[in-house]
Amino acid sequence: MTAPLTVVLPDAKAVKDMLSGLVGKPVAVTPGAPVTPTEKDPVSVAVYVSPTMAVNALCVMDLPLSAWTGGALALLPPGGVQDVVEEDGELTAMLTEALHEVVNVLSALFNVPGAPHSKLYQLYAPGDDLPGDVAGMLAAFNRLDLAVEVPGYGKGRLSLVVPS
């Protein structure tokens, strides 16, 4: 009998390399505080599932990093993206679409030998209501919490969470 496949958290270097390649700029990644949604601090949550549709990972970004990564990928002017974050407090449809592509590519971080295949199932944009089961998983103990700086845009926070 073989042991069940377990999802493995990537290391900070893998996240840095993936984001840098995605946005075409050298992204800075350092240890950071956990990203948790609050009324004043909306977050985006990407839900990744296995082939059996079991949730096997989450990617949580604060509003600024959601905007910075989406804006950098879409080659949007930093000033306009900063206005969205500071004045609107939510992502535009274009930024949400670009963020969807960012988190879709990030699924590759979990697709390593010995782990179940992960694919993006759903993206909840900052301000969207999270289902209770997803919100409950945000407190999982197996997590990687990072501070990320996208050159030209700004700093934000990212947490990768896998079930305990």
Q: pLDDT digit of tens for each residue in the chain (164 aa)? A: 444 578 889 999 999 999 999 999 999 999 999 998 888 899 999 999 999 999 999 999 999 999 999 999 999 999 999 998 888 888 999 999 999 999 999 999 999 998 899 999 999 999 899 998 898 898 888 999 999 999 999 999 999 999 87
Dist CA 23 CA 92 (whole Å): 18
In terms of DSSP H, where are the helices of the chain?
Answer: 12-23, 63-73, 78-83, 93-106, 132-137
According to the model, what pLDDT value does residue 4 have? 59
Which residues lie below 8 Å from residue 80, measured CB to CB, with a gap of 6+?
Answer: 71
| Token code pair at residue 28 | 């800075």
According to the model, what pLDDT value does residue 6 have? 82
Dist CA 73 CA 98 (whole Å): 7
According to the model, what pLDDT value does residue 140 have? 82
Which residues lie below 8 Å from residue 49, measured CB to CB, with a gap of 6+?
Answer: 55, 56, 118, 119, 121
Q: What is the pTM of this model?
A: 0.94
**Residue spans per domain, the chain:** 33-145
According to the model, what pLDDT value does residue 141 have? 82
Dist CA 101 CA 95 (whole Å): 10
| Token code pair at residue 35 | 């990203």
Question: Of 87, 78, 85, 80, nearest to 63 (Cα)?
Answer: 85
Dist CA 137 CA 123 (whole Å): 15
Dist CA 31 CA 12 (whole Å): 8
